Amino acid sequence: MKESITYIDRKTGKKKIERVYGQFALEFLYNGNILGHSLAYLSAKLSFLSKLYGWWMSQPWTKKKIQPFIQQYHVNQSEFLDPVDTFRSFNDFFCRKLKPEARPIAESDAIIPTDGRYLVYPDISQSDGFLVKGKQFSLKALLQDGALAAKYEKGSLVMGRLNPSDYHRFHFPIDCRADSARLINGLLYSVNPISLKQNIHRLTENKRVVTQLESEDFGEVLYLEVGATNVGAIHQTYDPSKDQKKGNEKGFFSFGGSTIILLFKNRRMKFSEDLVANSSQYFETLCSMGQPLGSKF
């Protein structure tokens, strides 16, 4: 029996059922059977499989997959900066840029950094679970730095999950100066709820990149990009020597699903009320890059 994932569409406020890319495979790999668990571990550990798949999806013959994918997942072509017929491969389509007017930047102090499904936690220390009640991960394990983790243990957390059908370029959520990105090598488990509800700690095991942002309004903020199945490559396109405006591009993911995590220190971020309300009921909120995330205290 298929497991349904319910989220709330921010534009309409209505609950929707997610169309899960590769749902049959995800349920086989992550629903607790021994064979599936073993195969999931092997596919997550053997990074060359993701690299091979990434290479395959960058070949010209994968162009034929683009239109069927657009139709199946209702991807809005009118938002694309470049026409579909100019994409040289499926990965070109996956890493597409959008017209600036397709993602207007809100006037709020902080904005949603990338298209995706969002959960917010105003006080990590008071949360009774991430995604699922009673299940949490360790900031120390996530950051691989106990002293750094201690600075955020009573802070606020944002989790944004991207599906393969989403726009996969990620942007700065605030006006800031960004340090150079730090790679933490790891595995490549799926970050779909089907996987994370079984084991939330996969977020702390996957390959990820950590960037520290310095902001006048929010102080020090951590920005993490977490890789996932078939996402061996996390590309940074920003210049660490330059000040960044909210909405500026930071980078992009190659093919697959992936996750963005933001960490704010205690009493620096006041999230938008709808995001808090939905998250308190364990519903992700489907958001577009540039929509309001919250304001400074």
Alpha carbons 249 and 51: distance in angstroms, whole number: 24
Question: CB under 8 Å to 205, separation ≥6 — which residues?
Answer: 44, 186, 187, 189
Contact 164, 176 (CB under 8 A): no
Contact 277, 271 (CB under 8 A): no
Can 179 be counted among the known catalytic residues?
no
Chain CA centroid to CA 27, Å? 20
Residues counted in the chain: 297
- Active-site entry in 171, 215, 254, 288: 171
Alpha carbons 49 and 51: distance in angstroms, whole number: 5
Provide the β-strand partners of residue 286: 9, 117
Residues 254-275 as b or e (16 or more Cβ within 10 Å = b): bbbbbbbbbbbbbebbbbbeeb
Question: CB under 8 Å to 134, separation ≥6 — which residues?
Answer: 128
- Active-site entry in 156, 258, 272, 288: 258
Can 89 be counted among the known catalytic residues?
no
HEC assignment per residue over 12-38:
CCCEEECCCCCHHHHHHHHCCCHHHHH
Alpha carbons 228 and 61: distance in angstroms, whole number: 24
- Active-site entry in 115, 195, 254, 272: 115
Can 115 be counted among the known catalytic residues?
yes
| DSSP code for 50 | H
Which residues are known catalytic residues?
Answer: 115, 171, 258
